[in-house]
Chains A and B, each alone.
Chain A
């Protein structure tokens, strides 16, 4: 292993190189560009033996990746925001075709108004597309996720495309010290991509077909089971990963001081680092607070959330997303997990960071303060507005 100072994008690119994708198709979009630039450099210097396809759009980027995957090649692409939305037709297509493509998405706001900075509305709007969705916290996790994503996506029981999300700029462009595994270690970890779900010259197949009302639901059910199976594959990947690389991960969620916590903040992505600091600070003052970081939005960690929150007095979901006309999508999902488990505690929703607006330490502290009131509310943070359109009473 070698330590280097890398941005989140660069770290992810190193992880992709270690996975030896055979086809990389990509179209540039801020703040994803550095990943594809780095991969192009790797192809140029010979350290990555990959067909690098300069497609003319994101729709073609994923369409091309599907073509490659449909003949059994390991394929990678990367995008962000408008690009993700432009390729949206291809997302359920890849999932329905059971093509285990890996895609990095640099989380970025979606127009209008135009904005290149980070929030998670792009990927969360695609929760139902059939892709595994992971959210990295830091550059090391980004690199490790890049390598693990192929293992999980290509797992025989899964065969589902994988979207690895990195917060735009905050993670994609921030430099941290990152451990880069050796190629030998990576090869030991990641087996060669093998699948029967491919067109082959020795066994010709017709793929991507139509299935009418009588049979369609069977294919959709199998697709659902495939993504559910990812939970087991993630566990398997992480155990193998720890054995080889010595770094451990904790599956669909990461619990930070939640065991005895009365008040728990649930969030995802890079903001978790700051929340951990606040948790430590408040713990020093004797407050029983904790963080539950969602690492995977699909498959969704229903059991993990219920387990972590069952003894809390109240909880809040902090997310860089709003499903207009309702509430944050993560909040809806978390409430569903609690309701199914029969856990009836007040849960609030804090919507912030839209269009890259900073979420401050003070704002996170004030969320923990709010939790003590043990009320349920949906709030936009930092603007004094309630999500029902009214002004906040105590703002």
Chain B
């Protein structure tokens, strides 16, 4: 039976933590653990989820969980998986939850190593598009134009000048058994992908967009709406990579206006019409590529 909100495990594995109200990352972790179940062994690097969930004596995971070094999510996952298997234990899921900085910046080398070895692990990147735990600094997954504390928006420079690193295709280029993009705004799609990854041998990677009200400057009840809107306006997409092929899972009939997505967030409020034009052009180029190369 396909996993859905109705069939989802009622047990809470991640609760009592001190994440900000409306935290998209904690929603992704909570839901993924419900899909994976009690025998998930989670590795979480230094970052938001470890900062909010592991404060002795308030330890907030109902399943096995450990904080890794910032750079060491994937390598520690490898050790957990190998260590359990070496003891003849097989009914578990080694899962990592790392943020965008922990994945696309400092943790990329270890992740690449794990995919290269095809270790039997699931790596979930909850992407809130900046180093939120340290106070909203730019990561390589911060989108163009976003204001962060290290890419301030002033007269001369309008926030982040770089495009978001293409983690999904970087991971796919390794020839990984399964990779997917997702968004907490399309939670059923995300759950389906976790469920699918659960049953695939080898390395699995899911990149889930997870808004951060604190860092994005949205209301705490707008997380899911923003995470939906980003897909609907075409700035993010839901796709899978399997058997060497890319598949698009969701094609908006018509993009909603990019402005609607950007203008609700204070991190984009400074953008000029020209800036927004750049964003639209890069979105269109991306979709041209997707239409050409994805099933």
A324 is an interface residue with CB less than 8 A from chain B: no
Q: B89-116: contact bitstring with A at CB < 8 Å (1 yes, 0 no)?
A: 1011000000000000000011011001
Contact, CB under 8 Å: A201 / B39: yes
With both chains docked as a complex, state the minimum distance between the C-beta of A98 and any C-beta of chain B, in angstroms. Answer: 12
Cα separation A2 to B255 with both chains bound (whole Å): 75
A207 is an interface residue with CB less than 8 A from chain B: yes
Which residues of chain B have C-beta atoms less than 8 A from A201's C-beta? 38-39, 64, 89, 91-92
Q: A51-72: contact bitstring with B at CB < 8 Å (1 yes, 0 no)?
A: 1011111011101111111111
A93 is an interface residue with CB less than 8 A from chain B: yes
Most buried by A among B60, B86, B91: B86
Q: Which residue of A lies closest to B84 (CB)?
A: A71
Cα separation A281 to B79 with both chains bound (whole Å): 51
B85 is an interface residue with CB less than 8 A from chain A: yes
B289 is an interface residue with CB less than 8 A from chain A: no
Which residues of chain B have C-beta atoms less than 8 A from A25's C-beta? 75, 78-79, 82
Cα separation A185 to B139 with both chains bound (whole Å): 54
Cα separation A302 to B92 with both chains bound (whole Å): 47
Contact, CB under 8 Å: B76 / A200: no
Contact, CB under 8 Å: B83 / A69: yes
Cα separation A70 to B29 with both chains bound (whole Å): 21
With both chains docked as a complex, state the minimum distance between the C-beta of B120 and any C-beta of chain A, in angstroms. Answer: 11
Question: Which of these, A56, A70, A73, contacts B110 with CB under 8 Å?
Answer: A56
Which positions 90-130 of chain A face chain B at CB distance < 8 Å?
90, 93
B54 is an interface residue with CB less than 8 A from chain A: yes
Question: Which of these, B39, B72, B84, contacts A60 with CB under 8 Å?
Answer: B72
Q: A196-235: contact bitstring with B at CB < 8 Å (1 yes, 0 no)?
A: 0001110011111111100100000000000000000000
Contact, CB under 8 Å: A206 / B110: no
Contact, CB under 8 Å: A56 / B82: no
Contact, CB under 8 Å: B117 / A54: yes
B80 is an interface residue with CB less than 8 A from chain A: yes
With A207-B66, A210-B51 already in contact, the answer to whether A51 and B82 are too (CB < 8 A) is yes
B132 is an interface residue with CB less than 8 A from chain A: no
Which residues of chain A have C-beta atoms less than 8 A from B39's C-beta? 201
Cα separation A90 to B70 with both chains bound (whole Å): 10
Cα separation A54 to B71 with both chains bound (whole Å): 17
Which residues of chain A have C-beta atoms less than 8 A from B82's C-beta? 22-23, 25, 51, 53, 64, 67-68, 73
Contact, CB under 8 Å: B69 / A63: yes
Contact, CB under 8 Å: A63 / B110: yes
Contact, CB under 8 Å: A70 / B56: no
With A209-B54, A210-B50 already in contact, the answer to whether A70 and B69 are too (CB < 8 A) is no
Which residues of chain A have C-beta atoms less than 8 A from B63's C-beta? 204
Question: Which of these, A59, A61, A75, A211, contacts B83 with CB under 8 Å?
Answer: A75
Contact, CB under 8 Å: A67 / B51: no
Which residues of chain B have C-beta atoms less than 8 A from A57's C-beta? 109-110, 113
Contact, CB under 8 Å: A90 / B72: yes
Contact, CB under 8 Å: B113 / A55: yes
Which residues of chain A have C-beta atoms less than 8 A from B41's C-beta? 71, 199
With both chains docked as a complex, state the minimum distance between the C-beta of A362 and any C-beta of chain B, in angstroms. Answer: 47
Contact, CB under 8 Å: B56 / A209: yes
Question: Which of these, B64, B83, B84, B89, contacts A205 with CB under 8 Å?
Answer: B64
Contact, CB under 8 Å: A66 / B79: yes
With A50-B86, A67-B75 already in contact, the answer to whether A93 and B69 are too (CB < 8 A) is yes
Contact, CB under 8 Å: B86 / A59: no
Q: Which residue of B lies closest to A24 (CB)?
A: B82
Most buried by B among A66, A71, A90, A212: A71
B177 is an interface residue with CB less than 8 A from chain A: no
With both chains docked as a complex, state the minimum distance between the C-beta of B41 and any C-beta of chain A, in angstroms. Answer: 6
Which residues of chain A have C-beta atoms less than 8 A from B68's C-beta? 63, 66-67, 208
Contact, CB under 8 Å: B64 / A199: yes
Which residues of chain B have C-beta atoms less than 8 A from A90's C-beta? 69, 72
Which residues of chain B have C-beta atoms less than 8 A from A208's C-beta? 54, 66-68
Contact, CB under 8 Å: B43 / A215: no
Contact, CB under 8 Å: A70 / B66: yes
B166 is an interface residue with CB less than 8 A from chain A: no
Most buried by B among A51, A61, A70: A70
Question: Which of these, B38, B79, B89, B116, contacts A64 with CB under 8 Å?
Answer: B79
With both chains docked as a complex, state the minimum distance between the C-beta of A217 and any C-beta of chain B, in angstroms. Answer: 12
Which positions 42-62 of chain B face chain A at CB distance < 8 Å?
43, 50-51, 54-57, 59-62
B32 is an interface residue with CB less than 8 A from chain A: no
Cα separation A70 to B94 with both chains bound (whole Å): 13
Which positions 128-169 of chain A face chain B at CB distance < 8 Å?
none
With both chains docked as a complex, state the minimum distance between the C-beta of A51 and any C-beta of chain B, in angstroms. Answer: 4
Cα separation A89 to B70 with both chains bound (whole Å): 10
Contact, CB under 8 Å: B86 / A73: yes
- What are 14 A-B residue pairs whose CB atoms fall within 8 Å in the complex? A53-B79, A53-B117, A56-B109, A56-B113, A57-B110, A59-B71, A61-B75, A63-B68, A63-B79, A68-B82, A73-B79, A201-B92, A206-B64, A207-B65
- Other 15 A-B pairs with CB < 8 A, given A23-B82, A67-B75, A201-B89: A23-B86, A53-B79, A56-B113, A57-B109, A60-B72, A60-B75, A63-B68, A64-B82, A67-B78, A73-B79, A73-B83, A201-B92, A205-B64, A209-B54, A209-B56
